[in-house]
Amino acid sequence: MDSALFLPLIGIPIIVFGFAFRFNPLLVVIGAGLATGLAVGMDFIALLETFGEKFMNSRQIASVVLIFPVIALLERYGLKERAQSWIRSIRSATTGRIFMLYFVVRQFTSALGLTSLGGHAQTVRPLLAPMAEGAAIHEYGDLPPHLRDKIAAHAAACDNVALFFGEDIFIAFGAVLLMTNFLKENGINHVEPLSIGLWAIPTAICALLIHLFRLSLLDARIAKDIALWRQQQNVGAHT
């Protein structure tokens, strides 16, 4: 088989290799795009023009230019500390319950197409993770660094999973329209965006139930990690 047929797929192993060794994601994606473009015979200048055009036309530019500076300014003036202070005033709030509530709201709003209401930059980092961490601090006191990282990872995963399975229900979502056009181009004309969105509902419900079950166990795992950490501290103090 002619190896040239596989040259357009060269970007895939580059992405896998780059993410596996935890290189900068932006550099990995750019490198994969450049390698793929050169492999299919694109002129280098034309390839750079394509990158620039897609970058400038991206709707995410508004998020970078507007949201990031605002969030940075709010964090500088104590947004995280105020979020933690507020959540500590709610007695029934726990890390797992906060994540469960956010997951339900995030998936529901994503299913309605309101994907910009949440996100890592505007919600997870400045609000969700500090609130969840504050609930754990209120219950157990100081937290070890590895547990803080674990809570932050759960916050990021909570947003990712809810968004991923929720947005597929929205019939005007880009991936739904892409699948519809692909099927029609291949002679399958009876599939409409509404039917794809409806078939995404069972998967979204399964993702909701599975992740809520995992989050319901999180508080017990945090308590176990705290107990083990304190035990190790006591052993180290006696030695």
1 pLDDT tier (thresholds 50, 70, 90) = very low
Residue given tokens 């970078």 in the structure block = 64
| pLDDT 10s digits, 129-184 | 999 999 999 889 889 999 999 999 999 999 999 999 999 888 877 778 777 887 78
On whether the pTM is more than 0.95, the answer is no
pLDDT of 48 reads 83
95 pLDDT tier (thresholds 50, 70, 90) = very high
Here the tokens at position 223 are 């308590």
Segments making up each domain of the chain, as ranges: 1-58, 67-238
Rounded to 5 degrees, φ, ψ at 23 are: -75, 170
Is the confidence at residue 207, as pLDDT, over 90?
yes
| pLDDT 10s digits, 211-225 | 999 999 999 999 999
From CA 113, how far away is CA 195, in angstroms rounded? 16
